[in-house]
Amino acid sequence: MRGKSHEEQSAASQSLAGTLDAVFWLDRPDTPQPVDALSGQTTADLVIVGAGFTGLWTALVAAEADPGRRIVVLEAETTAFGASGRNGGFCEASLTHGLANGLAHWPDELDTLLRLGDENLDDLLDTIDRHAIDCDAERTGRMDIAVEPWQVDELLQLAEASSRLGVDHAMLDTEAIRAEIDSPTYLAGLWHRTDAAMVDPARLAWGLQSAARSLGVVFHDNSPVCSIKRSGAGIEVQTDRGRVMADRAVVATNAYRRPLSRIRRHVIPVYDHVLMTEPLSTDQWSAIGWGNRQGLSDAGNQFHYYRRTADGRILWGGYDIIYHFGGRVGPSVEHHAPTTRRLAQSFFHTFPQLGGLRFTHRWSGPIASTTRFTCAWGTTHAGRVSWAAGYTGLGVGASRFGARVALDLVDGLTTERTQLQMVLRRPFPFPPEPARWLAVQATRAAIKRADRREGREGLWLRTLARFGIGLNS
């Protein structure tokens, strides 16, 4: 990102006066009331820990497959409290955090992963229709945008790989991209027209919860799980005020710490920040176009993602990824004024026509990142507990797939999904602290340098890449 002009800096400061520190998607009059916390002892066939997308899809898929199964979901806060209620709402087919990452890690199984990803997105959207979930889902596709000359070459290479792999796409030159969406910073765009839908993530999560409840799944909010132990032939899941004696459990806590510490070897929480504008006027929309409503992101290693909302706002997020020493998560690390300011400045750098527009909401959330940028899975407690975590910044769609794998694993099933190399092999682990913190900072600095040097990676990033390791959002 180039230096910011005085006008951009002053537009950014004005736009942030009066911005609420709140998640737009959760700041709604129709936010559901919390359900009762677990108190005392109960029994279940399957306990799910965490009511984000992974936990919700696990519950719904399991209940639809076996209506007699007694399923209990335990959530530390309320449904969609975590990343699932705070994200950009890009619901993508990719299970591999994009095509380039898929090619880098699983060239031999990429055809299968692409097919499974397309099926997953189709089935996810069918489920939204079947349960009449009102989450403003629109299959608009998404577009990568080159804002530096070196990024045009990268997009051309990606377009060539897309053609080879039969992935639907259109390459847009400067004139064509600016006819779609007008920004003076745009040089080219690669539009994947069918492989993404935009959704309202919180409404999707609440709708999944309601669908699962209609099938008999029992939810408990404000019920943090503190331990999971073997107990006879089953397991005992303990919360602060209650206990579930169960046959099996799926842990879907993603970036959060408890209750399985072994996930921390493979998954770290990195904070991603988001701004939401007020609704644009008709004139403001005319000034930028964007009639096809695609999800957009710029093509640098550090990138912004942005989209239109159903009520005419722009969500603008990304760029910085912030790791807090020891993997801290929670309110004490959620606000970072310099990052918010940088985001606002880059917004007006991209859309100078929108000077005067204000941001109504700012927030952040923990992205669960792995060194290969995709979900990891595992089992513990002699196979009675499975876990899925670490989608990095692309878990809205992939979490349905992650949930299905976690369910296959905990049910002891061998399926096409469980036989994937992506599932069988775990990502390279992160080192323990303090080396973890130092490695993340060194990698962030190296990524910034690469973006400044026309994408050319230095020794540190090249060495990591040789081991299939990286850092992303």
Ligand X SMILES: Cc1cc2nc3c(=O)[nH]c(=O)nc-3n(C[C@H](O)[C@H](O)[C@H](O)COP(=O)(O)OP(=O)(O)OC[C@H]3O[C@@H](n4cnc5c(N)ncnc54)[C@H](O)[C@@H]3O)c2cc1C
Distance CA(307)–CA(275), nearest Å, equals 11
Question: Whose Cβ is closer to ligand X: residue 72's or residue 461's?
Answer: 72
Q: How many residues does the chain have?
A: 473
Among 8, 15, 24, 90, binds ligand X (CB under 6 A): 90
Question: Whose Cβ is closer to ligand X: residue 189's or residue 259's?
Answer: 259
274 touches ligand X (CB under 6 A):
yes
Question: Whose Cβ is closer to ligand X: residue 11's or residue 74's?
Answer: 74
77 touches ligand X (CB under 6 A):
yes
Among 396, 409, 440, 471, binds ligand X (CB under 6 A): 396
Distance CA(256)–CA(467), nearest Å, equals 26
Among 24, 186, 256, 351, binds ligand X (CB under 6 A): 256
Exposure letters 402-435 (e unless 16+ CB within 10 A, then b): bbbbbbbbbbeeeeebeebebbeeebeebeeeee
φ/ψ region of 289 (left if φ > 0, alpha if ψ in -120 to 50, else beta) reads left
102 touches ligand X (CB under 6 A):
no
269 touches ligand X (CB under 6 A):
no
120 touches ligand X (CB under 6 A):
no
For 44, list phi and psi in degrees, rounded to 5: -160, 160
Among 394, 406, 446, 450, binds ligand X (CB under 6 A): 394
Q: How many CA atoms lie within 13 A of 191 on its CB side?
A: 19
254 touches ligand X (CB under 6 A):
yes
300 touches ligand X (CB under 6 A):
no
Neighbours of 149 (CB within 10 A): 11
* Residues whose CB is less than 8 angstroms from the CB of residue 256 and which lie 6 or more positions away in sequence, other chains included: 50, 76, 82, 269, 329, 366
Among 189, 395, 427, 470, binds ligand X (CB under 6 A): 395
97: three-class secondary structure by DSSP: coil
Cβ-in-10-Å burial (0-12, 13-18, 19+) of 77 comes to middle
Question: Whose Cβ is closer to ligand X: residue 82's or residue 117's?
Answer: 82
> Binding string to ligand X for residues 218 to 237, with x set by CB under 6 A, is what?
------xx------------
Identity of residue 67: P
Return the range that interacts with ligand X (CB under 6 A); candidates 68-76, 187-195, 285-293, 338-346.
68-76
Contacts to ligand X from residues 303-362, by CB under 6 A: 317
Compute the Cα dihedral for 409, 414, 416, 418 and give only its sign.
positive
* Least distance from ligand X to the Cβ atom of residue 454, Å: 27
Among 38, 47, 48, 49, binds ligand X (CB under 6 A): 49
Distance CA(96)–CA(398), nearest Å, equals 8
Question: Whose Cβ is closer to ligand X: residue 127's or residue 152's?
Answer: 127
* Least distance from ligand X to the Cβ atom of residue 179, Å: 25
83 touches ligand X (CB under 6 A):
yes
Per-residue DSSP letters for 240-299?
A: SSEEEEEEEEEE--TTS--S-GGGGGT-EEEEEEEEEEPPPPHHHHHHHB-TT--EEEE-
370 touches ligand X (CB under 6 A):
no
Q: Note the residues at the interface with ligand X (CB under 6 A).
A: 49-55, 74-77, 81-84, 86-90, 92, 224-225, 252-256, 258-259, 272, 274, 317, 365-367, 391, 393-397, 399
